[in-house]
Structure formats: structure tokens, C-alpha cells
Amino acid sequence: MPRLIRALAACTLLSSLATCVVAPRPNPQQIADQRLHQVDGRIDNLSRRIDNHVNRGFYPPPQGGALHHRLDVIRQEAHDMAAQHGGGLFADEERVLNQELDNAAHAIGR
């Protein structure tokens, strides 16, 4: 009987260990690529906000053009940074770009 209990306990332990799946660590390059994608997505959203504001008459087209140019410069900076090391962004680079985008979002308004 004690052998049976030990065997059942061993089977239970093995089955519980088998269900524990360790998630693979993300590839650093994938993380860097996701950072660039996040910045690009944020620029796209701000660009749509500018278009919406111009269409609703909140500010004239030349002002909208200047704001679009500002976003284009930030996008170019992001892609220049990414090109230096394989296509993605380091966390510090993303932080700097997001600060620039925060300032641009403030200039765009709600």
C-alpha cells in the first residue's frame, strides 16, 4: 500500500510539473521593434488628430502643416535611431521620443 501511495504521489508531482510551462523570454530585437512600432503608432494617431482639428476649423491648414512637419521630423529621428542598431529602439531612445511626442500632443491640443 505505501508503494501505491508513493507511486500516485510521484505521478501527481510529475503531471503538475508537466503543466508548468515556462514562457520563452522575448527576443531583445523583438522588444526593440515593438518600441519603434509603438512610436510610429503614436505619431499616426497624432497625425489623425491634426487632420481632425484642421477639418473642424480649430486651426488653419498652414498650422496643421507645421504640426505635421513636426511629427515627420520626430518619425525621421525615430527611424534614424533604429537604423543605427538593427531596426529597433532602445528604451532610452523611446523615452526621449515619447517626451517629444508629449510636447507635440500638447501643441496639437484635444
The three cell numbers of residue 57 are 476649423
CA distance 67 to 88: 25
Which residues of the chain fall short of a pLDDT of 70? 1-23
- pTM of the entire structure? 0.75
Predicted pLDDT at 102: 97
Predicted pLDDT at 86: 85
CA distance 40 to 75: 7
Name the residue type at position 8: L
CA distance 70 to 73: 5
